[in-house]
Structure 1
Amino acid sequence: MAEVTVVSLETPGSVRQLARYLARDKLALCAALFMLVLITCVLVGSLLMGDLAGKLGLRQRNLAPFSLEHGFIYILGADTLGRAILARLIVGAQNTLGIAAAAVFCSMAAGGTLGLIAGYSERWYGHVIMRLADVIMSFPSLLLALIVLYTLGPSMMNLVIVLAITRMPIFIRTARAEVLELRERMFVSAARSMGAGTSRILFRHIAPLVLPTLVTIAAIDFATVILAESSLSFLGLGIQPPDFTWGAMVANGRGYLASAWWIAFWPGLAILLTTLSLNILASWARTVADPLQRWRLQSLRKAPR
Structure 2
Amino acid sequence: MTEAPGRERLLALPRMLWRDKFAFASAVVLLVVLLCAIFGPALLGDVASSQNLRGRNSPPFDLARGWLYVLGGDSLGRPMLARVIVAARNTMMVAAGAVASALLVGTALGLIAGYRGKNTSQVIMRLGDVIMSFPSLLIAVVVLYILGSSVANMILVLAITRVPIYMRTTRAEVMEIRERMFVQAAIAMGASPGRVILRHILPVVAPTLITIATLDFAFVMLAESALSFLGIGIQPPEITWGLMVSQGRPYLTSAWWLAFWPGLAIILTTLSLNLLSNWMRIAFDPAQRWRLEARSSGNG
Offset of 1:166 from its aligned partner? 0.7
Separation in 2, partners of 1:182, 1:23: 32
2:153 corresponds to: 158
1:3 corresponds to: none
Separation in 2, partners of 1:172, 1:297: 34
Amino acid in the other structure paired with 1:275: T
Separation in 1, partners of 2:293, 2:200: 31
Task: With the length of structure 2 as denominator, give the TM-score of the two structures.
Answer: 0.91
Separation in 1, partners of 2:8, 2:255: 48
Amino acid in the other structure paired with 1:229: E
**Partner SS state of residue 293, structure 1:** helix
**Partner SS state of residue 300, structure 1:** helix
2:289 corresponds to: 291
Whether 1:13 aligns to 2:12 is: no
1:6 corresponds to: none
Offset of 1:65 from its aligned partner? 0.7
Give the alignment's Cα RMSD to 1 decimal: 2.0
Whether 1:173 aligns to 2:149 is: no
Separation in 1, partners of 2:148, 2:34: 29
Amino acid in the other structure paired with 2:127: L
Separation in 2, partners of 1:301, 1:160: 43
2:64 corresponds to: 69
Separation in 2, partners of 1:11, 1:261: 50
Whether 1:206 aligns to 2:189 is: no
Aligned pairs for 1:85-164 (under 5 A) are 85-164=80-159
Separation in 1, partners of 2:21, 2:202: 35
- Specify whether residues 272 and 197 from structure 1 end up closer, same or farther in structure 2 by C-alpha distance, changes over 3 A only: same
Separation in 1, partners of 2:232, 2:129: 25
Amino acid in the other structure paired with 2:9: G
Where structure 2 has 5 or more consecutive residues not aligned to the other structure, the ranges are 1-5
Amino acid in the other structure paired with 2:295: L
Offset of 1:186 from its aligned partner? 2.9
Separation in 2, partners of 1:263, 1:72: 17
Mean CA deviation greater in 33-42 or 95-104: 33-42
Offset of 1:193 from its aligned partner? 3.3
Aligned pairs for 1:131-280 (under 5 A) are 131-280=126-275
Separation in 1, partners of 2:17, 2:299: 18
Greater relative contact order (CA < 8 Å, ≥ 6 in sequence): 1
Task: Tell me if the contact between 1:12 and 1:288 (Cα under 8 Å) persists in the aligned partners.
Answer: no
Offset of 1:184 from its aligned partner? 1.5
Pick the structure with greater CA Rg.
1
Mean CA deviation greater in 201-210 or 115-124: 201-210
Amino acid in the other structure paired with 1:129: I
Mean CA deviation greater in 124-133 or 101-110: 124-133
Offset of 1:284 from its aligned partner? 1.8
Task: With the length of structure 1 as denominator, give the TM-score of the two structures.
Answer: 0.89
Task: Tell me if the contact between 2:16 and 2:293 (Cα under 8 Å) persists in the aligned partners.
Answer: no
Where structure 1 has 5 or more consecutive residues not aligned to the other structure, the ranges are 1-9
Separation in 1, partners of 2:181, 2:281: 28
Deviations 1:8-37 (A, max 9, x none): xx997143x323322322222222221121
**Partner SS state of residue 196, structure 1:** coil
Tell me which stretches of 4 or more aligned residues in structure 1 moved more than 4 Å.
Answer: none
Offset of 1:39 from its aligned partner? 1.4
Aligned pairs for 1:19-98 (under 5 A) are 19-98=14-93
Separation in 2, partners of 1:155, 1:13: 42
Task: Tell me if the contact between 1:103 and 1:160 (Cα under 8 Å) persists in the aligned partners.
Answer: yes
**Partner SS state of residue 58, structure 2:** coil
Deviations 1:148-176 (A, max 9, x none): 21222211111101111111111001110
Separation in 2, partners of 1:210, 1:181: 10
Separation in 2, partners of 1:12, 1:225: 34
Higher helix share: 2
* Count of aligned pairs: 292
- Specify whether residues 92 and 194 from structure 1 end up closer, same or farther in structure 2 by C-alpha distance, changes over 3 A only: same
